Structure 1
Amino acid sequence: MGRSALLVLLILALVSWATWVVHADEAELLCACENIKGSCENATCKGDVCFYSWVNMYQERGCFSNEYRLENCGSSFEGFYINCCSTKLCNLRTTLPPVQGTEPPERNLELWIAVPLALLFMAAVALCGLMLWLRSKRTHCRLLGHEEGRDVTMVKVPSGEDPTYGELFDEFCTSGSGTGLPYLVQRTMARQISLAECVGKGRYGEVWRGTWMGESVAVKIFSSRDEQSWFRETEIYNTVQLRHDNILGFIASDMTSKNSSTQLWLITHFHELGSLYDVLQYSTLDPDSCLQMCLSVACGLVHLHTEIFSSQGKPAIAHRDLKSRNVLVKRNRQCCIADLGLAVIHSQSSDDLNVGNNPRVGTKRYMAPEVLDETIRVDMFESYKQTDIWALGLVFWEITRRTIVNGIVEEYQPPFFDMVPSDPSFEEMKKVVCVDQQRPSLHNRMHSHPILSTIVKIMKECWSQCPAARLTALRVKKTLSKLDQEHDYAIDKIKQDL
């Protein structure tokens, strides 16, 4: 009796298992499958629901499980149509209805109401959060302004030092990347700036002094033929960590329409003293000021040439058009390097050399010998850095020429002024620099002062005919920094002796 009962139970178990297997197979509905992803096997798939969809002229057939039925089959909007069905290969011959506005067959009214309400609720919560955050930020700034005894409602230019643009950047919540205002804010800058006066003109276009939020800013308006320079500077400033005391501060880049023509704007910090070229026309320097100017230019060039390895690092950059006109002077007589329209970018990690596609060339008077005789290795980043060092030596020469030593100072002249005409040709510069291997003349007085004699040695090494023999920007900076420290120590010692 016991064996018969056991046999019956075993038979019942087998029947139950077979029934489950049959139903399990039946649960997987066979559907037609067609897509560009290559996920179909034998043009079929198995699931709980078959579907046919049409999205912007692209159709797809396939299947999915019941858990996705509601959200997929209940969707409909312009340019999108889906048809769901639940019988074998029911989506094989389904096509788009004659009228594209046809409602999908399975539509859930509750879903159409719930989704917009949920989105509206989330948007309201986000808006309230943003308003609370802005209020707390404004309160913090107001408290900070009261603590420092200043009015933060309008940023004013300080009388003693350079304009401080920090408050303006705080107002617009920059990301800390050091590349100017957020991109979307930049897109509206031209409408917020009032142009006051034209402060310079050149082949690239014009430079204007403008006002923005009570602060003076420089607006460089590019001519249409120099469009690539605007694109290049915008690209570099927006993608690279360039915030440095000795690099011209970038605020924004914008495109605007004036008098039925498109203007390309580059908005930067404004320095009322103008370029180093302008300052040297009417100002003379003492040796200490000469050292500070040379050191500040070297510091800016070191920052450009140096690649920073970090999560928000910067690639190495070579300027390619360093000259006194592209160096601006701040109120404290520190210099900052400007005009990156010809810059070259290099990243060691990817070994990528980005020279851009700007057809413009550098200034012939400041071109290194290897550029003039066309022997430069254009595929090596070091080559471009070495041409910057050549130009750096010429800028130092311009500064030292206007430095008073023993009551003697020379009038301003550009490099090679006594060897080539005012606008020299490529061939004229090549003959002087490459064939004759001449260098700017140096007055005897420069050898009688420790600061100027050291700078003269640096200049001579920057002018080496062999590019690899020239100093690096970092070596120039370290030598001048050491000279600056020794000079400060000597002055302190003299004061103590007195």
Structure 2
Amino acid sequence: MDGGISRLYEVKEKVGSGSFGTVWKAIDRRTRQVIALKRVAGVLRNARSAQKIYREVEFVKIFSKHPNIVSLLDVHVAANSLDVYLALEFMDSDLRKFIRGGQLRREYIPAVMAQLLQGMQFVHSGNIIHRDLKPANILINRNHQARISDFGLARSITSEYTGNDPVLTQYCGTTWYLAPEALLGSKWYTVSADMWSLGLILGEMLTGKPIFTGDSQMGVMESILSSVSCPAPRDLVRLFPRHAQWIHSFRPGQLRPLKRILQRQPQEAADLVIRLLHINPNERPTADQALRHPCVASYRKRWPMFDRDVKLRVPDTALLQCGEYRDLIRRIENKMESMKRVSHVKI
């Protein structure tokens, strides 16, 4: 642990780790607030990873205004100039652990889903796509308050193109939760890909296990085609020109119709899952439309939305040097610290 960070935070226990960071439960020595301290080691050593942590910091800072997005409290570049620490709102667990541990109470599932839809409605109103929605990236408390986190793969869908060249990369997120258009390598997908992921998250909350699995992207696609009805051949050619023939000719060894997978679940919740899991992205409801569904409508709350496109200072088309990303993050660090000092001044 960086010495300067240790002077700011009293680390209590490790609560999680993954490919992009380690998280501890800690106490802010200045405010005595319990926080989640996320260390991303060596992230400023490589331009691509530095770009990702910069996006993570910027997007979470912007979206923290919404109650269903995790709040960014502080950001720090370590003394070694390679590690980045994020001080985040502390949540008890993540949805993946909640589901696997049997802590998710069934009667709260519609309320949790409504919170996720509200969070993504806010994000999508700024024309941003998350691209990595999965249970492990949904933070949750024992009272079933949910927060969306991990925006490192998020992208703008208004400024991602220069001429005819898309900037959306083929890989995004965990394969099991990717929409078909992302699995098949499309670079032109939209916020409807997030809606597919939300459908899978709701399905997993209901059944207790992932809906579609596979050892590869095509393996997951085969799992999808074994359960979900295909669009008409004419639509397939338009939606998936490089894979339309393969999809049309695919003959699953074992059918697992989605309705059968969900047959023991509450009818309204199962219907919302089925509506969200359309192979044709144009047929999936938006977050606003999904919030009107009977499964979640009674939990809907109205929050202000963006009236403009959310754009970062560095466009997605640009890849800066590591030092430039370090300077950008330090600028955010200094600005947040300055705003805290101003808020503490007594008038």
Post-superposition offset of 1:233 = 1.0
Contact 1:297 1:335 in 2 (8 A): yes
Instruction: Find the partner of 1:230 among 53, 57, 64.
Output: 53
Residue 297 of structure 2 is aligned to residue 482 of structure 1: yes
Deviations along 1:389-438, whole A, 9 cap, x unmatched? 0000000011112xxxxxxxxxx322325xx3xxx222322333354586
Structure-1 separation of matches of 2:86 and 2:118: 24
**Distance change (3 Å), C-alpha of 1:428 and 1:471:** same
Structure-2 separation of matches of 1:439 and 1:266: 43
Larger Rg: 1
Identity of aligned residues (%): 24
The residue correspondences of 1:100-119 to structure 2 (distance < 5 A) are: none
> For residue 324 of structure 1, what is the aligned residue in structure 2?
135
Contact 2:27 2:33 in 1 (8 A): yes
Structure-2 separation of matches of 1:439 and 1:193: 51
Structure-1 separation of matches of 2:170 and 2:77: 21
Residue 41 of structure 2 is aligned to residue 218 of structure 1: no
Post-superposition offset of 1:207 = 1.1
- SS for the counterpart of 1:289 is helix
Deviations along 1:216-267, whole A, 9 cap, x unmatched? 11111113354332111112234x353111111111211113xx67321121
Structure-2 separation of matches of 1:276 and 1:466: 27
Residue 276 of structure 2 is aligned to residue 453 of structure 1: no
Residue 218 of structure 2 is aligned to residue 427 of structure 1: yes
Structure-1 separation of matches of 2:156 and 2:6: 28
Residue 192 of structure 2 is aligned to residue 386 of structure 1: yes
Post-superposition offset of 1:439 = 6.3
Instruction: Find the partner of 1:242 among 23, 43, 64.
Output: 64
Contact 2:24 2:38 in 1 (8 A): yes
**Distance change (3 Å), C-alpha of 1:483 and 1:215:** closer
Residue 160 of structure 2 is aligned to residue 353 of structure 1: yes
Residue 120 of structure 2 is aligned to residue 301 of structure 1: yes
Deviations along 1:162-204, whole A, 9 cap, x unmatched? xxxxxxxxxxxxxxxxxxxxxxxxxx87741122221111111
- SS for the counterpart of 1:388 is helix
> For residue 98 of structure 1, what is the aligned residue in structure 2?
none
- SS for the counterpart of 1:207 is strand
Structure-2 separation of matches of 1:219 and 1:462: 34
Post-superposition offset of 1:357 = 8.7
Post-superposition offset of 1:337 = 0.5
> For residue 472 of structure 1, what is the aligned residue in structure 2?
286
Deviations along 1:110-141, whole A, 9 cap, x unmatched? xxxxxxxxxxxxxxxxxxxxxxxxxxxxxxxx
Post-superposition offset of 1:454 = 1.1
**Distance change (3 Å), C-alpha of 1:439 and 1:384:** farther
Residue 215 of structure 2 is aligned to residue 416 of structure 1: no
Contact 2:170 2:182 in 1 (8 A): no
- SS for the counterpart of 1:474 is helix
Structure-2 separation of matches of 1:241 and 1:431: 35
Root-mean-square deviation (CA, aligned residues, Å) is 2.8
Residue 14 of structure 2 is aligned to residue 204 of structure 1: no
Structure-1 separation of matches of 2:58 and 2:257: 36
The amino acid that maps onto 1:194 is E
The residue correspondences of 1:262-411 to structure 2 (distance < 5 A) are: 262-272=82-92, 274-283=93-102, 285-306=104-125, 315-346=126-157, 351-353=158-160, 361-377=172-188, 383-401=189-207
- SS for the counterpart of 1:262 is coil
4+ residue runs over 6 A deviation: 354-360
**Distance change (3 Å), C-alpha of 1:288 and 1:207:** same
Structure-1 separation of matches of 2:113 and 2:76: 33
Instruction: Find the partner of 1:255 among 73, 77, 83.
Output: 77
The amino acid that maps onto 2:198 is L
Post-superposition offset of 1:271 = 0.8
**Distance change (3 Å), C-alpha of 1:352 and 1:416:** closer
State the TM-score, normalizing by the size of structure 1. Answer: 0.47
Task: Name which structure has the greater RCO, CA cutoff 8 Å, separation 6+.
Answer: 2
Structure-1 separation of matches of 2:10 and 2:167: 32
- SS for the counterpart of 1:390 is helix
Structure-2 separation of matches of 1:360 and 1:252: 29
Structure-1 separation of matches of 2:36 and 2:263: 40
**Distance change (3 Å), C-alpha of 1:357 and 1:196:** farther
Contact 1:372 1:430 in 2 (8 A): yes
Structure-2 separation of matches of 1:201 and 1:459: 30
Structure-2 separation of matches of 1:483 and 1:237: 28
**Distance change (3 Å), C-alpha of 1:302 and 1:481:** same
The amino acid that maps onto 2:108 is S
State the TM-score, normalizing by the size of structure 2. Answer: 0.66
